[in-house]
Each structure stands twice: as structure tokens, then as C-alpha cells.
Structure 1
Amino acid sequence: MATPKVETEKHGELNCWRITSDHAELLIAQQGAQVLSYQRLGEPPLLWLSDQALFRQGSAMRAGVPVCWPWFGNLQRNPQAVQAMFHGEQAPAHGLARCRDWQLLGIEGDGETLRIEFGLPEAQADLPGWPHNVELKFVIELGETLTLTLSSYNLGNDLVTISQALHSYFAVSDVRQARVEGVDGLGYIETLADWEQRQQQGDLGFIGETDRIYLQAPQRLSIVDPHWKRRITLQTRGSRSAVIWNPWADRARELVDMADDGWQRMLCIETANVWDDVVTLKPGATHALSVTIGSEAL
């Protein structure tokens, strides 16, 4: 592999790195260690970056892969064991990690793969309202595919219970034409209908706002995009739940960081540990949540 090109950039208030390899280009923000965009050379982007994303210190970015940790979504919707970990007053949606600056620990080549490693030292008993000692690392591996791995290592003396997600925004030509394979027969929580539990019949297509938690999800899911003639593949590890989300038209108009028609070009499939799939770490235990993103021609 030729030596990748690494450039530092400023987007709004945020420090970022643009990394170009033989195969692809990545844009990564220091805030949240968030991959903002991923595009294979000569192809449409695989990860979606909102053209109205806000690049502000301390604000979430609607782009790429936000890291949700040590809880996912609304803390009050989490199991009691996750809620009990937090002792603060204001619990931000999707946890405490995505709006903090992470530390770049290294960028190195490993054969045909480029490895980028981040850490969040504050997770070691220095997060506001969350006094637990966890070594938190996020590793990005760029080769023919993109692999993201979030590792939590309990350095403390007590049990730590977390929910978490790699909140991936995928780029599609038109979500109304796309479908998700791999969910047929799965139970899911329909959050838009009072959190009812239902069962999926066939592939998932999109005809309106979608916000579902799929349970006992398989390790492989994929997005079929007929217009771009490709299948985006997700191979996961350390996860039994997947959250699938699209805001559709009415909700998108309420989002200041998404164009009114932005919903047409994105689809979230979030590799997650949520609902009854939360992670409890004994002292000295480690858990890794991982997704490998690739694509293939239809």
C-alpha cells in the first residue's frame, strides 16, 4: 500500500483529519473520534454527511458514525442498571462520548490496512456524573473495507453496565427505493407505536418515518440500493441489536442540521447494544463492539 496522505483540516470549530489511501478517503473529527465521511475512490459515498451538519464544539454532528457511549438514546429509556451508572443531573441523549475531544493515539500502516487509534482519557473516572474507570478506545481500520471497533475495558473494582451504538448514517441514492436485507423474521421494538414488540416480515422497505430496534440481529445486514447498483454490507461483532432509523419528510423539516429533503439520501443502521442487549463488565473485563462496512455491485 502506498503511504496514505494525512491532512489536518478545520471544519467550523472542529479539528479534523482527511486521510486518503489507495482505495478510499476518510474524514474524521477529533470531537467524538467521529468518522464524518467515507468514500471509495470513484464511487458514491458509503457514509452520509449532512450538507447542513453543524461543526460546533460540544454539539452533535449529523454525519458518518457518531459514537454513542456509555448509553444510547434517552437515558430514561435504558434499563435500570444503565441508568444507575449516571449520577449527574442532565443526561444528554446518546451519552457522554460523542461531543468530547478524543486523543489521537496513532496512525500506522499494517500491510494493506491503515490503523487509526483514538482514546478518551476522561472515561477513566473523569466524565461528569459518570464516576467509573473504563479505558475506552476506538480503532478505525481502513483497507478494502472500513472496520470500526469500540473497546471498553473496566479498570475499576465494580460492575459497569453500558448501552452503546456505532450510529452509522449510510448514503443511499433514494431511501424510498432502498431495502434492508437480513431482518426477515426478527422481533423488533416499534418505537413510533408506543414501543410495541412486533415481528418483521420480509426485507425492510421504507414508506414513512422509521425508528425500530431489531432484536437478536444477525451479524450480517445489508442495504440494497438499486439506482446506485450496489449492496452496502455490514458485518458486526459484539452486538445483538440493530437500530434502523430514517426521519422522513415531516421530521426532517424539524431538524436544523438536515436539509428538508436530506432524509431521501440517508439511512441509519446502528450497530448497538441496547434494550436487553446491554453490556455488563466485571472488573478487568473487556467488550468490543465492531462493524465492518463494505460494498458490492448488484
Structure 2
Amino acid sequence: MATYQVVNEQHGELNCWRITSDRAELLIAQQGAQILSYQHVGEPPLLWLSDQAIFRQGKSVRAGVPVCWPWFGNLQRNPEAVQGMFHGTQAPAHGLARTRDWKLLGIEEAASALRIEFELPEAQGDLPHWPHDVELKLLIVMGDALELTLTSRNRGNSSVTISQALHSYFAVSDVREARVEGVEGLDYIETLADWEQRQQQGALTFAGETDRIYLNTPGQLSIVDPHWNRRITLNSRGSRSAVIWNPWTDRAQALPDMADDGWQRMLCIETANVWDDVVELKPGAVHALHVAIGSEGL
């Protein structure tokens, strides 16, 4: 049975917890309940932390797994039902949850894993310009795989429609050598070409800026990294859409929290409910967005 050590740390302005076992190490920030880094002992990181990351209150960190909720990306690109939930004028990208402090409900060992649970109490009617009552929790299970479950329960008297994503930044040896399997034959939205719908031919490889919404995704996607002799697996539930993103050269140079060559070492595959996959929560309804992240040799 694995033994775990939990240490409270301060990174810039952010309160964090570093959790280590004999198998892996995990760093989590209270802001956004955001995983910042994760790696198995003796191996390269699985989740990528920018070496120019900015740890500032009110700013999501370029790292790990930001939680995008109750909308993903630009609100104006979301379906009208999602847009109509927000009553303000300035809608921050990727929603309201990722820059707020979550409440740590507990850290406990269960079988051969560690369970870390967070809640965002503000989601129960106190988010600015989003007057809905939703119980929002994130459960992180650190075991053989790293499992994340984002659960939304509508406590109000009217339906709530959300888009969301677990915006995972994966570490790769060189994105130009990596490929994503599981997307073969899928339709996707090419956001860099007027949001055209296209069809994926073969596995996805990278030769330029990439920002795509894949539709009707299967339960498993994987990143094949030949140089590190590794396959990263993503097994998801409660989702049939995924966003795959890499900023490449020009976009990376424009990001203050990413090195000019940082794009080479990361790849985002975001387990999501976006586009035609948004979630309508009727009163009392519950939805769980889940991904299990694992790795294996080639």
C-alpha cells in the first residue's frame, strides 16, 4: 500500500499542496483546484508546468489541469443556452471557476489510492453575474492512474446549461514527433479556418498551430511519444467532445507565461462538454465529467 506525504506550499501568491508517494508526485493549487504538475517517480512529467508560469491570484496558471466552468473558451462562441446563463457584460475566457479559491473538503487514503476533494461554494449562487445554484465538486484520485471527476448538481428550481473542460496540459518530448491516436475518422471544428467542420484523416500529428474541437470522441484517446517511449492514455466518461491545442511559434511568443520554445514540450487534450455536447442540468440533475490519465511504455 502506498504511503502519502502532504506538504502545504506557497507558490507566488497561490496556496498549494504538494502530495508525494513512493510512485508519484502531485502539486495542486487552491485557486481553481488546479493541478499544476504530476509525474511518476523516475519518469518525465505527465502534466506540463510552464517554466515561466505566473502564480498570481485571479490568473489561471499555464500548467496542469485548469478547470473551465461554467463555460469554455470565448462565451460568445458557446451555444445561446450557455450564453444566456451569464448576466454580465465582460465574460472572462474559460468561465469563472479557474480563478477562484476552492474549498479543500478532505484528503484521505482509500484502498491503494489517495482521494482529494474540492468544492467551489460560490457556485451555489454567489458567482458574479451567474445567478444559479449548482453544487460543484472536483474529486482527484491519485493511484495507478490520476483520475479527475468534476461533478455539477443543480440545486435550483430552473434548468442550467453549461459547457466545461478539464483543460489538461500534457508534457511531451517534442510535439513535432508526437501523435494523437483515437481521433481517426472523427469530425472536428477547425477554429483556425473560420470554424469549418472537417474530418480527421489518420492519427493527428503536429506541424503548426493547432486548435480543434473533436466531435463524438471515443472513450479513449492517447498521446504517443516515441522519444520518451511512452503512451499517455486518457479514458473519459461524461464527455463526447475534446479540444486539442498547441500554440506553436507565434502564439507562444505572444504568451507572457510561456517560453518562446515552450510549445515544443506541451500538448493540450481537453476532456470537454463543448459545441453540440453542452450539458443541460434540470433541477436536481447531476452530471460528472471524468478523465483517468495513465501512461505505459511503447
TM-score (norm 1): 0.99
How many residues were matched structurally? 298
Please name the residue that 1:59 is paired with: 59
CA distance in 2, matches of 1:122, 1:264: 37
**Which runs of structure 2 are paired with 1:161-172 in the superposition (5 Å)?**
161-172=161-172
Cα deviation for residue 60 of structure 1 reads 1.3
CA distance in 2, matches of 1:111, 1:161: 36
Please name the residue that 1:31 is paired with: 31
Please name the residue that 1:184 is paired with: 184
Aligned AA (1:96):
L
Please name the residue that 2:257 is paired with: 257
CA distance in 1, matches of 2:162, 2:241: 14
Runs of 4+ in structure 1 off by over 3 angstroms are none
Identity of aligned residues (%): 80
Please name the residue that 1:81 is paired with: 81
Please name the residue that 1:175 is paired with: 175
CA distance in 2, matches of 1:275, 1:2: 40
**Which runs of structure 2 are paired with 1:9-48 in the superposition (5 Å)?**
9-48=9-48
SS in 2 for 1:276: helix
SS in 2 for 1:82: helix
CA distance in 2, matches of 1:60, 1:232: 24
Is residue 2–residue 113 contact of structure 2 (8 Å, CA) maintained in 1?
A: no
Is residue 159–residue 282 contact of structure 2 (8 Å, CA) maintained in 1?
A: yes
CA distance in 1, matches of 2:21, 2:115: 12
CA distance in 2, matches of 1:296, 1:255: 32
Please name the residue that 1:154 is paired with: 154
- Coordinate RMSD, CA, aligned: 0.5
Aligned AA (1:276):
D
CA distance in 2, matches of 1:153, 1:2: 32
After superposition, give the CA deviation of every residue in 1:112-158 in whole Å (9 maximum; x if it has no partner).
01000000000000000000000000000000110000000000000
CA distance in 1, matches of 2:53, 2:2: 32
Aligned AA (1:285):
A
Is residue 217–residue 241 contact of structure 2 (8 Å, CA) maintained in 1?
A: yes
Aligned AA (1:85):
M
Please name the residue that 1:131 is paired with: 131
Please name the residue that 1:213 is paired with: 213
Please name the residue that 2:290 is paired with: 290
SS in 1 for 2:122: helix
CA distance in 1, matches of 2:40, 2:53: 21
Please name the residue that 1:272 is paired with: 272
SS in 1 for 2:276: coil
Please name the residue that 2:201 is paired with: 201
Cα deviation for residue 88 of structure 1 reads 1.2
Q: What stretches of structure 1 of length at least 5 have no aligned partner? A: none
Aligned AA (2:177):
Q
SS in 2 for 1:250: helix
CA distance in 1, matches of 2:128, 2:122: 9
Aligned AA (1:171):
A
SS in 1 for 2:290: strand
CA distance in 1, matches of 2:201, 2:242: 16
Aligned AA (2:58):
G
Aligned AA (2:277):
D
Between 1:108-117 and 1:2-11, the stretch displaced more is: 2-11
Cα deviation for residue 100 of structure 1 reads 0.1
SS in 1 for 2:192: helix
Cα deviation for residue 287 of structure 1 reads 0.1
Aligned AA (1:266):
M
Cα deviation for residue 2 of structure 1 reads 3.8
